[in-house]
Structure 1
Amino acid sequence: MKPAQNEPGAHTSRLPGGRRAGVLATVSAVICSTSLFAIPAASAAVPTFPDNIVVFPDRDFVSIEGYEGHAGETATLEVKRAGKVIGSAEAVVDAGGVAFEVNHPGGVCWGAGTGLAVTPDIRPGDIVSMKFGTTAAGETTVQDTYVTGDAELSGSTITVKGHIGASVNPAQLEQRIIEPALKDTSIGRRDIRAIPGPLTPSDKGGYSSGLEVTGDTFTATYVFDDAANAEIAANAGLGERAMAWEFEDADANRQGLTIAEYGEPGGPGMGGCPNGPLQSGPPAPSGITAAKVSGGLKLNWTPAEAIPGTPAITGYRAVAVGRTVTGSEQVEIGKRISGQAATGTTITGLSANEDYDVYVVGVSSVGETFPAAHAIPVTDATAPTVSATPNGGSTAVAQTVTLTASETGSDIYYTIDGSDPVLSGGVLAPDAIHYTGPMEIASTTTLKFAAFDPSGNVSAISEVLFTVTNDPVPAAPTFTGAPVVGQGTANLSWTAPNPGAAGLTITGYTVQAYTSDGTAFGPAKTTAGNVTSLVYDGLSGDTAYGFTVRASNSNGMGPESEKTAAVTVQGALVAVAGPDQNVVRRTTATTVTLDGTGSTTTGATYQWEQVLSSATDPNKVSLTGATTLKPTFSLPVFRTPMTTSPLTFRLTVTAGGQTRTDEVKVVPVPDRVTISGAQWKTGDFRVNGTGSVVGATITFRVGGPAGRILGQAAVTAAVAPATGGVYTLRLRNAAAGTTNPGTVWIESTVGGTAGPLTVINK
C-alpha cells in the first residue's frame, strides 16, 4: 500500500469491529490484506467497504482503496464541478489494498489516458467518481471542512480551529495533528486525534482531547500531561488536518472520506504531471485552414474550448511568418482577435512574392497556447459542398434545419421562394439570404442553398422540399430500466412523452420486439390509453430481444424510441444461481447458502459444483446438499494455503432431456491487519499492530509469508477512546533469538495479511 507523500500513513477509514483502516495514520508501516474483494454499486454512490474513494483536496490527490474484484481492469476517475468534468485520469486497478492513486508518487497523473491535461483544483462540493467503461463504481463528494490556522499553544494546551460546512455531519468529523517525533514520547504514536465530545484521555496516555462544533466552526482541544510534548505537537512538521466522511456503515467503516491537510500545496504531485488550472495555458483552435485570397490569407478555425477549471479563453493570436530569412530575421505579420467564439480572420499586407507559414494560438489570462498550431496556406480550387439536416421530407410539425458546408469558413446563402441563391457566373442573387445558424421551417417550403468557400469557389445549388402537415404526433417515449425477463416474456415500462401539442392526449402505445439481427419479431403489441407498461408475451425462450415503443395520438403515431439493450428471454427450462455474494469473514466459520430458487422446479434435477482452477485448488470447499436448490457450505477461517480469492459455483438444471447452467460468485472479504512496529534487542523481541476483528488470532512469521512461525497472539479490543482491535507479540530471552530476524510477516485467522516490515534494533 502506498502512503501519502512524505508521510507514512495518511488516512483512515473504519473497518468491521470499529478499527480504523486504510493507510493508517498511527503506524509506521501498513500493508493491508492482499485479497479484499467487493462488487461496487451499480449506480454512482458512496462506495461500500472494502472499496473507498479517499480525497485529499489540498494536494489534489485521490486514493482508491479496494476494488480487487476489478484487478487488472482500467478505471476512469473524474472530478466534476457543477456537472462539468474538471479533471480525469485512467489507471489499472492493482491487486492490493490500494487500487491506484492519482497525483501521488507511485500513481498516475491527472490526464493519464484521458487527454484532459490539467491537475484539477479540488474543492469542497466537487464530486470524485469512478467507473469501469460506462458502469459507475462509486463516488465521493468532497466534504466542506478544513483547518483554518496553525495549532495554538498555551502552556500544556493546544487548540486547533477549523471550518465545517452545513453539509457535513458533525458526528462524522475528526481532527488530527501529525508529528512522527511524538512516537518516542509518552504519547506513543505519531499523531494525536480529537473527535466530537468532551475531553477524553488517549488510550495510550499522554494527553486528553475533545472537539466542539459551534455554527460553522470547530475547535479541537488537546491537554497534555507534559508541556514538552505539547510544544512538539504545536510545531508539527506534517501539520494539522480535518477529516470528514459521508457514510459510516454498521461496522464503523468510514466511506467517502475527505482529508483536508492544512498548508499543503496543490497542483502537480510529482514530476511530469500537468499544471494546475491557474498555470495551464489555453488550447489552440482546431481545424485551422489558411486560404490564399486577394490581398492576403483568410484563416478559419473551430473555436477552442478552455480546459475545465482553467481560465476562460479571451481570444486568439494569428501570425503569418515569411519563409525568407534575411540575415537572422523573418517577416512576421499578424492579428489579435478578441472573443472565444471567433472563427477566423484575414491577414492582409502580405507580399505576393513570399511564401508564409501560419501560426495560431489561444489566449487567456495565464498566457498562450504552446506550441502554436501550424497551418500552411494553400491555393484552393475545389468547390465546397453543402448539406441540410434534416434533408427535407414530410413532418407533422415545424422543423429546425441546419446547413453545413464542407469547408470551414464558407459563407452559405439560401432562398425559400424557389429562386436560385446564386446566378450564372457565380454571382450572388439579390434576394439570397445569408445563413447564420439553424432556421425553423414551419410550413411547406422549397429550400435552395449554396456556399462560397474562403477562396471564392462556389458550390452547386442544392434543393430540398419540406412538407409540414401541422398535425403533431407524440415525441418518442423513454424506457425506464432494462426489460425484466420471464419464461417467454419481457416486462417493459417507459415514461409518457410530450403528447404533441396542448389539447392532445396519448391514445396508446405500440411496442415492437426485435431479434439480434434487427428483424422485427412478429406483429407489434399495443396498449390502450396512456398505459406505460406492458408484459410482452409469446417470445421464444433462450432468445435475445431488443424492444422499441411508439406513442400515438389522434393525429397518428410518433417516432420509435431508442431500442433497449438486448435481453435473453427465459425458455421452458431455467437455471438461476442467484446474485453474487460478498461474505465477510468472522472468527468462526461462516455458513454460506447458494440460492437457486428462481430455477425450474417441475420435473427438474439439480447439481451444484465449484468451478476450480485445478485439481489442487487450495480454495476448494465441500457443498452440503449439492443436488438441492439451496445447498450450503462452511467458509473456513483463513488457513494457509487457502486464499481469499472469489469462489465460483455452477448450477446445472436438467429436465426433459435438456440442461441449463448458471454461475454465481462468492467473494470472501477478510479482515484488515497492520503491523505498527517491530523492535528487537538481545533477549527481547516485540511486534504490535492492529486488527479489524476482535478475537482473531495473528500468526507471526519470518523468512516470508509462509516462513518460520515465531508465535501467535490474539486481537483484543483497544482501550477507549480508541476503537477496533490491537495485538502484541513479545518474546523474551531465548525465544527472542540472538540476532535480529530482519523482517516480519503476519496473517490472521480471518484472512488478513501484512508484511514485510523491517525489524528495527532498540
Structure 2
Amino acid sequence: MGAPASRASRSPKRLIAGGLAALTATGSLVTFATMAQAGTPPAGPGNIEIFNKRSMVALEGYTAQAGQEATVEVLRGGATIGIGVGTLDATGFLEFNHPGGECWIGVTPTIKPGDEVRVSFSGEAFTDSAITASPTVTEVVGSGFTATGNLPTDPENRVRGTGTVTITGTYDPADPWFDPARFNIETVNPENDDDKTPPGEDPGLSDNRAMGISLVPDAEHPNGEPGLWEATATADPATRTIVGTYTLFTKADYDRVLEGDHVFAAWMAGEEPALGLTQNEFEEIPGPGMGGCPPSPDGQVPTAPTTAQLSSATGSTSVEVAWETPAQPADGSPVTGYRVAAIGGAHAEQETAERTGGTSVSLDGLEAGATYEITIEAYNGRWSAAQSLGTVVVGSGTGGTTTPPGGGTDPGPDPATAPGAPAGLAATSASLDSADVSWTATAGATGYTVTATSADTAAAVPAPVTIAAPATTATLTGLTSGATYTVSVAASNANGEGPASTATVSTLRAVAPAAFNLTRVVPGHESIAAEWTAAAPGNPASPVSGYDLVATPADGQAPVTVAATGTTGTVSGLRNKVEYTLTVVAKSGTTTTRGTVPATVDNTVTPTDVVTVTRAQFRADRREYKISGTAQDSTANRVHIRLGDVAGSGTTIQLNVPVAADGTWTVDLRNGPTLPTSNRINVTSDSGARTVALMTRTR
C-alpha cells in the first residue's frame, strides 16, 4: 500500500526525528536518545482519527472544508469495506458511528490494522488518507496494592504504599506506519482529578485525568512525575509486544488507574505534519455505537448464490442442484448452510425443499414433465432472502431446460460417477516456503486432494493435503525457497477420485532490501545521531527486519554497531576527537543493503566535548576574573581560557583548569591580563570543545 495522498496546500513535509526502543544483536532492549520531541506530533491542518475497536472515524481540523460534504471510505487491500457521507461543521469536524455523528451506509465496517481510511470532499480536488496502526491492547492487569504506612502530613483517609498496573498489547514490527516516537499509552479516568474527588475521599497524589506513557520520553514529556507516580514502556519486536507499567503510591491512584480506560494511541509515521491517529481502546465494545446504524459484518445476512447447475435425468422425478459459495462481505460470518426449494408442479404453490451444509442437493418426489422454479437461501446465523436460480423441467434428461439468471448453465455431472477435474485452478506464492491454492467448486465433490511435485531434486516436497467440501482453498507449506512446483488438485466423492487439474507456482527467493538514503548525520558528545529513509522490501517475502548503525573509527580500532528498527538512531560510547565514518545497513534476514550517502550528506564526523560558560565577570581595579562553566567530558579533561574571540589563540587568562567529576570547572584569578575592549574570551577543552563568551564588567 502506498503512502497516503496529501493536499497541495499542506505545509512543507519534513522528517519526524525521534528515538526508539530496539533490540540489540544479543536480544536485549536498548533505548536510543531522542533527537526531537517525542510523543507529541506537530500540528497540522487536518487529522483523521481512527477508533478501530469502535468502528468509529472522526475528522477534525478541516476548517478550510467546513460546510462541504465529506465521503469517508474504509479500504482493505484496495477494496472498499465501508463508506459514509456527512457534512463538516463550522470547525471542520465530522464523525461516524458515534452519537451525534453519521452512520456508515449499509454496513458498519470492522476496522482492522492495515486498513486505509480515505476522505474526499465535495468542493476540493484532493483526498487525505490514514492507515490504521497495528498496536492493540490485549490485557490490563493490576498487581494488587501493598500498604506501607502514611506520612505525618497525610490526610487520615490516605493509604500509602505501592501497586502497579500493567497494560500489555501487540504490534507489528514491520508496520511501516508505526513510529515508536509517535506512540503513547494512556489511562483516562475523570475521577483522577482533584476537582472531581468527592468530599471525604482521598484525592491521591496524581492530579491527571489522562496519564500518558511514551515509548520515547523526553525532558518535556517524561514518564510519570517524581514522587507522585512512575511509569515505563518498552516495545520488543522479537515478541511483537508493547508493555507499559504504572507504579502508583496511594490506594486511590492505584484504583483509579486500574479502573480507568486504557488506550494505545499511535500517530501515523512518515512525513505528514499530522495525519492519522489510531486509538485502540481496551474497554470499548466493538461494533455500532449508536441506535439505528447498520450492523457490523457479522450481523449481516449472507449473500446467496445467483447461479447454479440444474439437471434432471431422463424419466426421473428429481432435480440435482449444485452451486458455488459466493464471496461474502469482508469480516462477515461464514455461510454454514443453505435451503434449496423447487416450486411448481400441478399447483404453482407446491414446494419441495431440502437443507444442506454442502454445495449440492437432490430434490426428490417431483412431478415428471412439470416445470419448477429452483430457489436458494443462505444461512450464517441469519437467513438471506430467497434467490431464484432459474427453472427446470423434471425428467427432461441431462440436456433439459435450465434458465437461471445470466443466460443458463450446463447440466451437472451424473451423480452416480466420480466428479470431474476442478476448474479455475490457481496457485500463487508470496513467501519463501508456502503457496496458496484455489479452485472452483466441483459439482458432486465431497472432498479434494492437493499435491505438489518438483523437477528440482533439491526441493522439499510436502505431503498431500486433503480438503473437505465445500472448501475450495488450501495452503501448501514446507516448500523450498526459489523452487518451481507443479500443483495438482483432484476432486472425489463416494464413487472415487476424478481427474486432476494442474498449475505451476514458484516460491520467492530472499532478496536484500531496496536502496535507501542516509539523510542526516549529527555528531555529539561521545555519540553520533543519524536519520535515513526507510528501505523498501526486496520482494513481498523479504520484509525489512531492521537496521544496523556502524561507526568505524579512522584510527583502525573496532567499529561500534547498534541496531535500530525505525529510521533514526544514535551510536553512543564513542571517543571524542576521533573521526568516525557512519554507515547504515538495512537487513532482511541474512541479506543486507548499505545505505547510499548523497553528496549533500557528510557521514565522516568527529564526536566532541561540549563546553558552556555559565559565569564570566571581570573587576577592572584588581584585574580579577571570575569564570565558571561546564564540560560534558569529565574524565581527565581540562579547559583553557584566553582573551579574544578566536578559539585557541589570544593572551592567556588561565590554562589547564581541571574539569570536576560533575562536569563543572571554575577560574578565580587576580592580577590577570587587561580585558580588551571587545570583552570577549574563548574557551577550549582537551576533548576538542570550543566556545566564545562575553565578559561582564562588575566595576
For normalisation by structure 2, the TM-score amounts to 0.40
If asked which structure has higher relative contact order (CA below 8 Å, sep 6+), I would say 1
